[in-house]
Structure 1
Amino acid sequence: MKTIAFFNNKGGVGKTSLVYHLAWMYADRGIRTLAIDLDPQANLSAMFLDEERLAELWENGEPSTLYDSLLPLMNRTGDIVPPHVEKIEEKLGLVCGNLALSRFEDLLSENWPKCLDGQEAAFRVITAFHRIIELATQNMQAELVLIDVGPNLGAINRSALIASEQVVLPLAPDLFSLQGLKNLGPTLRDWRKGWQKRLGELPDTAGISMPSGKMMPSGYVVMQHGIRDNRPVKAYMRWMDRIPSVYREAVLNEQPTETPSVADDPFNLAQLKHYRSLMPLAMEANKPMFFLKPADGAIGAHVEAVRSCYQDFFKLAQQVASHAGIQVS
């Protein structure tokens, strides 16, 4: 099981759309992929499912969402229960999110320090996401897990990131994303160090599956920048030029003397365009932008845009998967 989280505490950069499209791309290339919605806003679930199906999952009284799997633990009546994996396609599954997930935040915050006392119950709470992901992965025999999280540095995201081996950082070429990187880098190091310290306090008799908590940065994806004549427009370059140095200083904790441009930066996984004209069609058709057909309204210039979109996401999928030791062909 390879787990990759997509995280930036700056919202509105297209993170959820990125996870959605990559999940479809991996499945299309034959990789059994599981998408996990750990954002209490449940936007990823809303992209995959129509409102009617979402209502069924949220209201049917059965364990149908990730939050439902947590309820026995939250109510102190038991441990997690196996999650429902919603089958999107043969090789693509979803563990659906739920707006009620935010209720788990306080319990996570409360139990984080208790792990230092070696309390088994505290470890069960902090590792709940990891163990739910393990069960879901076994359910569909997934090779790759993509985790979507909300744009904050709270306890839910800390637990989600602990369950992640790698972290991809989507960002926009603007001041707010750069500031987000400056906040995020030290936070990742603190969470990693804090978890390693707690692992040393785990009782030998606990018998609980523990995540490694590596959360190693794989690189960044520059989202939604304007393109003219195959080059970023001038308004974005002011901020794009600063991304490589800020990434190294804040995220990698390095003090580089020289840094490359974004285009030449090995930590730059991709620069994705807006595809403004395709997204409304994709939302209406309830499918990824790169699967749009003429019947969906993708005619004329849209045809080439769809083709270009597929190639962009395919190349990005290869880059991201390579850090997880998975080949995409």
Structure 2
Amino acid sequence: MKTLALFNNKGGVGKTSLVYHLAWMFADRNIPVLAVDLDPQANLTAMFLEDNRLLELWDDGQNLTVSDSLLPLMNRTGDIRDPSVESLHPSLWLLPGNLALSRYEDLLSETWPKCLGGDEAAFRVTTAFHRIILKAVGKTGARLVLVDMGPNLGAINRSALIAADRVVIPLTPDLFSLQGLKNLGPTLREWRKGWKKRLEELPTGTGIPVPDGEMRPAGYVVVQHGIRDSRPVVAYRRWLDRIPSVYREAVMGDSISQPPEPDKDPFNLALLKHYRSLMPMAMEAHKPMFFLKPADGAIGSHVEAVRACYADFEALARRIANEVGVPLE
């Protein structure tokens, strides 16, 4: 099992939509996948599920979301509860999120420094996401875990990233996305180093499954870039061309004198179009853009757009699968 987080501390980069579509693509290609919603806004859960099911999930006391699994820790009455997973497809499951997850932020912030003192309870809090994911994988047999997170550098995301083997960074070609990238790279290195230091203080004999905290960068995906005659428009090109060098300096801690163009950059996993006309239909039909049918309104030129969308996401899924070691057949 491999855990892949999709993360950028800059919002509005299409991260949740990317997780949603990749999860469906991997499932369609018979890779058992678990989607995990660790964003307190729970947007991924809302994309996957109908409103009536959301109401059922978010009723108090139902123990059906990530935050419900954390309640004994938050109330200081015990350890994590077994998670409940939503089956969406024979090869796709969802570990649902909840707005109540934001309550876990303060406890994570409080216990992070206590791990340095070898506090067992602090390690249980910090590793809770990792252990919940392990339990969910045990129930589903998922080979790949995709984690969605909110756009910030807070304690919830630190704990979520500690549980990740690899990290894919979604970007948009603009100034703010590049600034977010400059913040993200050093933070990943700091969190990785901080967790390694804490692991040295883990008491022996606790039996707590702890993650390695590798969170190694797997590359970046440029989403929603402007297209005109199959080429990015000038307004975007200015920022797009800077991504390879900024990624190397900020995330990889390296630099080269002549960085490659974005479409030739080995760290660039994909340049995805905006798919402006498909997304509203997909939201209405409650399905991925590449599964839209004529009955959903995908007629005329939309038919070819749906085919192109499937090909784009299939290629991206293949790149990611090869990066994390779960190759598509």
1: CA distance between counterparts of 2:60 and 2:304? 42
- The one-character-per-residue Cα deviations of 1:37-69 (angstroms, maximum 9, x if unpaired) are 000000000000011100100016221000000
Cα distance in 1 for partners of 2:225, 2:299 equals 24
Distance 1:246 1:79 in 2: 41
- After superposition, where does 1:141-290 map in structure 2 within 5 Å? 141-290=141-290
CA RMSD of aligned residues (A): 0.6
Q: Which runs of 4+ in 1 moved over 3 A?
A: none
The Cα shift of 1:87 comes to: 0.6
Instruction: Output the TM-score relative to the length of structure 1.
Output: 0.99
CA distance in 2, matches of 1:218, 1:270: 12
Q: Which runs of 5 or more structure 2 residues have no equivalent in the other structure?
A: none
Residues 231 and 9 of structure 1: is their aligned pair in 2 closer, same or farther, counting only changes over 3 Å? same
Task: Give 1:74's aligned residue.
Answer: 74
Offset of residue 322 of structure 1? 0.7
Cα separation, 1, equivalents of 2:98 and 2:236: 35
Match of 1:7 in 2: 7
Q: What CA distance in whole angstroms lies between the structure 1 residues aligned with 2:272 and 2:311?
A: 11
SS at match of 1:270: strand
- After TM superposition, the score normalised by the length of structure 2 is 0.99
User: Aligned equivalents of 1:281 and 1:86: distance in 2?
Assistant: 24
Post-superposition offset of 1:326: 1.2
Deviation at 1:299, TM superposition (A): 0.2
Q: Distance in 1 between matches of 2:143 and 2:205?
A: 30
Give the CA deviation at 1:227: 0.6
Task: State the match for 2:57 in structure 1.
Answer: 57
Cα shift readout 1:122-146 (whole Å, capped 9, x = no counterpart): 0000000000000001110100000
Q: Percent identity, aligned pairs only?
A: 71
Separation in structure 2 between the aligned mates of residue 146 and residue 17 of structure 1, nearest angstrom: 12
Give the equivalent residue in structure 2 for 1:37.
37
SS in 2 for 1:273: coil
Partner SS, residue 220 of structure 2: strand
Paired residues in the alignment total: 329
Aligned residue type for 2:239: W
User: In the aligned structure 1, how far is the partner of 2:74 from the partner of 2:60?
Assistant: 20
String of CA shifts for 1:251-298, please: whole Å, max 9, x gaps.
000122220010110000000000000000000000000000000000
- The aligned amino acid for 2:39 is D
Partner SS, residue 201 of structure 2: coil
Distance (whole Å) between structure 2 residues aligned to residue 257 and residue 274 of structure 1: 31
Structure 1 unpaired stretches of 5+: none
> What is residue 326 of structure 1 aligned with on the other side?
326
